[in-house]
């Protein structure tokens, strides 16, 4: 049986053409095809640690060396990855020129990503001509930023390695514990303070929430892409759009996602279902 019946695809495309304010919510499933681990379920361990337990201020305070080795490994994995067709399709929508044929009535498009790998901003640079693409809102921060624990300066950082002491630690056997690095081997600010990854950890408040709330209140079409809708506040975004009369399409490999708000649900890999739903397989294929 066709998992994307033509009648459903047609009704979705009609909704897209008439939508005025479109929002895409991206989760870890969007980056899975690029080789970025989700660190949930069976893949939830880094060395012998629950990866989610390392994403807390308390874990960093207790053992900054362990947490930095975890994030250094994630940075190096993300550095080697490339945006997939799902990233590129959302990047096309971020460009008013590219969006005109898909959503001619649209006045705005916003990509809100929960991912910290930087692949969505890279996709916008690739797919949107002349730098006209709207950058995504990275509500959980970015691996490519740091925050000083002393002066609190937030800075972009794409160094590889981010500090000499972390060089090669990503190749240390995963069956063994992390290396016992001294604090002096970790990344430091110009002020001398210890740097931390520029991501939002459990227990911290994501940035942009006031801006996101305003964007979602006017949204009339929401695309939930590769998100299981289990981590709040993002887990309630699609449901909020639906409760205000907006329409929701979900593209997710496992389960419905979207908080049960889906009018259209397509199970499968987002990098396959999203371009097909929008009818841009050839355009995206030329960018991959």
Peptide bond into 154 cis (omega under 30): no
Q: Strands 141-148, 21-26: parallel, antiparallel or unpaired by DSSP?
A: unpaired
Structure letter (DSSP) for residue 47: T
Say which residue the tokens 């709040």 belong to.
232
Cβ atoms 92, 99 nearer than 8 A: yes
Nearest in space to 48 (alpha carbons), one of 66, 36, 35:
66
- Between CA 228 and CA 44 the distance in angstroms is 15
- Separation CA 194–CA 11 (nearest Å): 53
Is 188 assigned a catalytic role? no
- In residues, how long is the chain? 288
Angle, helices 270-278/85-94, rounded to nearest 10 degrees: 40
- State the burial class of residue 274 (Cβ atoms within 10 Å of its Cβ: 0-12, 13-18, 19+): buried
Q: Which of 84, 40, 29, 79 is nearest to 257 (CA)?
A: 29
- Please, are residues 226 and 26 in contact by the beta-carbon 8 Å criterion? yes
231's tokens: 């981590």
- Choosing from 21, 72, 87, 140, the catalytic residue is 140
Instruction: Just list the catalytic residues.
Output: 140
């Amino acid at each position: 049986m066709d998992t994307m019946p033509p009648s459903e695809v047609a009704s979705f495309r009609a909704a897209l053409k008439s939508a005025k304010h479109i929002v895409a919510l991206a989760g870890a499933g969007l980056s899975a095809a690029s080789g970025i681990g989700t660190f949930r379920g069976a893949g939830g361990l880094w060395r012998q640690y629950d990866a989610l337990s390392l994403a807390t201020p308390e874990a960093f305070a207790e053992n900054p060396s362990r947490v930095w080795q975890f994030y250094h490994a994630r940075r190096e994995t993300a550095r080697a990855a490339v945006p997939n067709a799902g990233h590129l399709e959302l990047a096309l929508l971020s460009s008013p020129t590219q969006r005109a044929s898909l959503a001619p009535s649209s006045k705005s498009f916003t990509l809100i990503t929960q991912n910290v790998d930087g692949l969505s901003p890279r996709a916008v640079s690739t797919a949107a001509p002349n730098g006209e693409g709207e950058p995504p809102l990275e509500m959980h921060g970015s691996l490519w930023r740091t925050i000083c624990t002393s002066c609190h300066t937030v800075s972009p950082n794409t160094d590889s390695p981010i500090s000499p002491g972390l060089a090669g630690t990503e190749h240390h056997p995963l069956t063994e514990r992390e290396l016992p690095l001294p604090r002096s081997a970790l990344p430091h600010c110009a002020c001398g303070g210890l740097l931390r990854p520029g991501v939002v950890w459990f227990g911290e408040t994501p940035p942009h929430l006031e801006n996101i709330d305003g964007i979602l209140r006017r949204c009339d079409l929401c695309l939930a892409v590769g998100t299981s809708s289990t981590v709040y506040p993002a887990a309630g975004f699609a449901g909020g759009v639906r409760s205000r009369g907006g329409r929701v399409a979900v593209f997710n490999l496992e389960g419905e996602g979207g908080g049960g708000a889906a009018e259209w649900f397509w199970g499968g890999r987002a990098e396959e279902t999203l371009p097909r739903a929008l009818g841009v397989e050839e355009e995206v294929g030329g960018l991959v």
